[in-house]
C-alpha cells in the first residue's frame, strides 16, 4: 500500500513540478515580451528625440544664416549710401575716356 501511495505522491510531485516549469516558462516569456516592448519604446523615444534635436539645430543654423545675410545686406546698404553719385560733367569725362580707349583698340 505504501508503494502505491509513494508512487501517487511521486506522480503528484512530477505534475506539480511540470506545472511550476510551465509557469516559469510563461513568466520568462512574458518578461522577454515586456522587455522587447520596452526596448522598442526606448528606441522610438530616442529616435524622436534625435529628430527633434536635429530639427532644432537646423532651425538654429537657418536662423544664424538669415541673421548673417541681413547683416551683410545692411552693411552693403551703408556702403552704398556713402557712395555719392557722379555729376553730369564727371560722367561725360568718363564716357569720353571709354570712347577714346575703344577707338584705340
User: pLDDT tier at 1 (50, 70, 90 boundaries)?
Assistant: low
Mean predicted confidence (pLDDT) in 50-60: 97
In the predicted model, is pLDDT for residue 75 greater than 70? Answer: yes
In angstroms, rounded to a whole number, what is the distance separating the alpha carbons of residues 70 and 64?
Answer: 10
Q: Please, what is the Cα angle at 38 between 35 and 43, to 5 degrees?
A: 125
Expressed as residue numbers, the domain containing 37 is 2-104
User: pLDDT tier at 3 (50, 70, 90 boundaries)?
Assistant: confident
For residue 23, give the nearest of 4, 80, 15, 62 by alpha carbon: 15
Q: Can you say how many angstroms the Cα of residue 38 is from the centroid of all Cα atoms in its chain? A: 22
Q: Which residues, at least 6 apart from 94, have a Cβ–Cβ distance to it below 8 Å?
A: 86
Q: pLDDT of 6-48, one tens digit each?
A: 888 888 888 888 889 999 999 999 999 999 999 999 999 999 9
Number of domains in the chain: 1
Amino acid at each position: 500500500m505504501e508503494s502505491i501511495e509513494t508512487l501517487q505522491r511521486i506522480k503528484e510531485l512530477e505534475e506539480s513540478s511540470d506545472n511550476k516549469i510551465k509557469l516559469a516558462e510563461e513568466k520568462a516569456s512574458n518578461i522577454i515580451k515586456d522587455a522587447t516592448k520596452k526596448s522598442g519604446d526606448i528606441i522610438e523615444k530616442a529616435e524622436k528625440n534625435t529628430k527633434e534635436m536635429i530639427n532644432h539645430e537646423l532651425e538654429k543654423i537657418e536662423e544664424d544664416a538669415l541673421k548673417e545675410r541681413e547683416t551683410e545686406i545692411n552693411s552693403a546698404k551703408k556702403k552704398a549710401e556713402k557712395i555719392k553719385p557722379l555729376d553730369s560733367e564727371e560722367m561725360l569725362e568718363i564716357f569720353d575716356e571709354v570712347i577714346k580707349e575703344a577707338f584705340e583698340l
